[in-house]
Structure 1
Amino acid sequence: MNNKFELNLTSIPKELKLLLDLIQGNDGEYKHRNTDGWFTDINWDYFLKLAIHHRVYPLLYLELKAIESNLIPSQVLQTLQAYYQKNTFQMLHLSGEMERISELFAKNDIPSLFLKGPVIAYDLYGDISLRTSKDLDVLIKKRDIQKVEGLLFEKGYINTQETITQNDKKGRNYHIAYFHPHKKIEIEIHWRLHPYPINQPTFSELWERKRVSSFTSYPVSFLGREDLFLYLGVHGARHGWFRLRWLKDIDQMLKTKLNYRKINSFQKKYQYSYMIGQMFLLANCLLNTKAHKEIKLISERHSRKLAQLALLYIKKRTHSHVNGLKNLNNYHTRYLFILMPTSRKVLFILTLFYPSFKDEQTLPLPSYLHFLYFPLRPVLWIWRKTVKMIQL
């Protein structure tokens, strides 16, 4: 495949371009540059906000620390150092809990796969302090949900999500969040990798290809290399790559040995081709990532369109986060629709009609009447919007 693509990057601010240059990490190349021009007219407050939003401050701290330039304010380095140290403690804290949860589930005959967190940080970067994680994500079989919830309750976790209805589990929802008030740790229990209607491997298939981490003293199972690569790619695409940490993860994975025949086979089987194409284009243009020649882009034209949409989305989400603008739910729904392959678009639209906990809050009904939420959903949605407009 072509290893150099072009996207319209004219709207990206200088601070974001600097951030992207730094996280490429080209083995000390930056130290030999004429950095005077590199750091000229940088809004450092904005740069720090970008670093925090995109969750790449550990990498930025180490890069900037290694660069000798009086143009980098000491306050910037001190702030990044504080976040770096806080993240290191957080990752160590999560590592201990990850082992305990893995052991708890194994002793109760519950197969589990850790999707992100310290085990992924170590696998991708070789150092858990170089990647951030706010929680632990664990994939289990759907039939084990009730059993897992009981075990977590026994260990002091509480369900912090709004009520998850049976319709949610059948439709858009694919995980439940639990929080430990004393340990200050959140765990997301997944029964699917991605929300419906995205295609995905079964748990049994993922379990057959799993790896066991060498980073922990108690065995912790996580996704096989190609499964992890595609999971991170689809996850990033679903969220419009609004955190550049996800794109850096892909950059790191492409530096390892991957079975590209498997990747090509999986992306075709599960209809990920457009999303994976988008991922490669973004990684190449923003991080100068080189993709292997065996990778096949099914439709480079459509992937380029999706990549350009993601750039706009990255800019919108970043601006929204930094300046506190209104949420982008409507834009995100449209983006997801365009992201879907044609064969899944109808199913995606149908998921929008699945009842949610908001419908139950608006009109509580006994469980034997929950089927009424399907025809009532449009009415309840209009009612909520009307009440919201009146309150404004």
Structure 2
Amino acid sequence: MPKLSVPDIHSQYLCPELQAVLWCAKIKFQKAFSYRLTDIFLPSLNWDKLLYYAQVHALTPLVHEVIASQPQSVIPINILKALAERRRAIAYHNLQCTHDLLLLHKEFKKQSIRVISYKGPLLAISSYGNLSLREFGDLDLLIDKRDIKKSVDIIAAKGYRITSRYSWEITFTKEDKKELDLHYSLSPWTFPVSLFFDCLWEHAHRVRIADEDIVTFCPEHNLMVLCVQVSKDAWEDRLTLNKLCDIAALLSVSHQQFNWFYVLHEAALCRLSRILYFGLALTKAFLDIKLPALILKELRQQSWIEKGVLQTVYRVAALKIGKKSGFFHRMQLHFFLQESLLGKASQVGMLLTRLKWEQKKIIHEKIPYSKN
């Protein structure tokens, strides 16, 4: 783990408002953490800035949940009102998406198509314990590649239209702006994942929603998938703190029966160990989650983690979300996250080719062709 302690990281890199947002997450996910907001942050808080950070990091419902429980005399009324209004809008959106998910699930079931739903309402209910407490933008479904055509037809019949196709997913949008990602792989080529659908299905769990049993990942596979998401987002410079809260929420409700030995075995088998360690190290750096001794030992032995974590902490703290960092930093992080020497070499070559192509595309888009 980084030599800096969690309090050091927070005080050196994070403004009081971002610390307060993280504090709300700690209150929710750590039962022993029970400080009052007024004891720590009140004198230096810019409330409008806190609202901004909560929205940027998609944590408005969680921040509202905790702040609303604080002494009302010290929380500005307009701040409470703004948080409550935003949370109601998110809750309505979540309900609408969940309704769509249930309709789609019934159609997949009728046609005997195996489908795994993850993140979105499944994570909100199973890990956060409340559909309105986790903000999400779309639905995520994972299918076997052999069922792509049938799945596309089912989704299209419910009013969704294809907006983009990638090597690992198809993105759909409805007229009401709701979005759905149909995955037949868990990540793009830049972060290849060897978690096979049959294995995921064999170990899948079911979550009860409105008298329907919706299939989702088991907690161990869920953690691996969330760490892939965190690592990919960190590499793309678009990591938001809600992704780390997902990991903290999952572990907070699953810790007693969580099989860490299985996670480590599966991660090693799928060449995801470094991605797993990086996701856990980042979550610990920001949220100070409790991890078992065997995981902490592994983190201490991964010397590359310290630099990667601190660079990411700085990028998040400086609000560099969506602003690409230097080419060297991105290549270095990607190189660290690869498991084998062959993987490192091949990925470097692929990235150089892809980034060169992207640069050419940008130049052509900026300079229109002459019609002479």
TM range (shorter): 0.7 to 0.9
Once residues 65 and 264 of structure 1 are traced to their aligned partners in structure 2, the CA distance between those partners, rounded to angstroms, is: 39
8 A Cα contact 1:39 1:72, kept in partner: no
Distance change in 2, residues 1:33/1:53 (3 Å): closer
2:241 alignment partner, one of 237, 240, 244: 244
1:272 matched to 2:272 = yes
* 1:342 Cα deviation after fit: 4.2
- Uncovered stretches (5+) of structure 1, i.e. residues with no partner: 356-376
Listed one character per residue, the Cα deviations across residues 320-344 of structure 1 (whole Å, up to 9, x for unaligned) are 56xxxx5559578434344333432
State whether residues 206 and 223 of structure 1, in contact with CA within 8 Å, keep that contact through their aligned partners in structure 2. Answer: yes
Shift of 1:89: 1.3
Give distance in 2, aligned partners of 1:177 and 1:246: 20
Give 1:7-156 correspondences, 5 Å limit. Answer: 8-9=9-10, 10-25=12-27, 26-27=30-31, 30=34, 33=36, 35=38, 38-156=41-159
Name the SS of the counterpart of 1:294 in structure 2.
helix
- Cα RMSD (Å) of the superposition? 2.9
The Cα of 1:58 is off from its aligned counterpart by 0.9
Residues of 2 paired with 1:147 and 1:332: CA distance? 41
Residue identity in the other structure for 2:306:
R
Which amino acid is 2:304 matched to? H
Contact 1:274 1:302 in 2 (8 A): no
Distance of 2:49 and 2:223 partners within structure 1: 31
Question: Residue 382 of structure 1: CA displacement?
Answer: 5.7
State the match for 1:361 in structure 2.
none
Give the 3-state SS of the residue equivalent to 1:138 in structure 2. Answer: strand
Q: Give the Cα–Cα distance (whole angstroms) in 2 for the partners of residues 350 and 145 of structure 1.
A: 30
In structure 2, the CA distance between the partners of 1:187 and 1:290, relative to structure 1 (3 Å rule), is: same
TM-score in terms of structure 2 length: 0.85
Q: How far does residue 29 in structure 1 lie from its aligned partner after superposition? A: 5.6
Say which is worse superposed, 96-105 or 239-248, in terms of deviation: 239-248
Q: How far has the Cα of 1:354 moved from its partner?
A: 7.7
Structure 2: any 5+ residue segments left out of the alignment? none
Aligned equivalents of 1:157, 1:88: Cα separation in 2? 21
**Aligned AA for 1:190?**
H
Match of 1:386 among 352, 363, 368: 363
Equivalent residues of 2:226, 2:243 under 8 A apart: yes
Q: Secondary structure at the match of 1:239?
A: helix
The CA deviation string for residues 240-261 of structure 1, in whole angstroms up to 9 with x for no partner, is: 1721111112112222221111
How many residues get paired? 353
Instruction: Give the SS at the match of 2:294.
Output: coil
Match of 1:312 in 2: 314
Q: Which residue of 2 aligns with 1:297?
A: 298
Alignment CA distance shift 1:87-1:332 (3 Å) = farther
SS of 1:136's equivalent in the other structure is strand
Would you say 1:341 and 2:339 are equivalent positions?
A: yes
The residue type paired with residue 80 of structure 1 is L
Which residue does 1:281 correspond to in 2? Answer: 281
TM-score, length basis structure 1:
0.81
- The separation in 2 between residues aligned to 1:147 and 1:84, in whole angstroms, is 36
The answer to whether the 8 Å contact 1:114/1:138 transfers is yes
Q: Is the 8 A contact 2:97 2:178 kept in 1?
A: yes
Equivalent residues of 1:35, 1:69 under 8 A apart: no
Contact 2:239 2:321 in 1 (8 A): no
Identity of matched residues, %: 22
Post-superposition Cα deviations, 1:227-285, rounded to whole Å, max 9, x if no partner, equal 01111122112111721111112112222221111011112112222222222322223
1:155-181 Cα distance to aligned partner (Å, 9 max, x none): 2211112xx3xxx52xxxx11111121
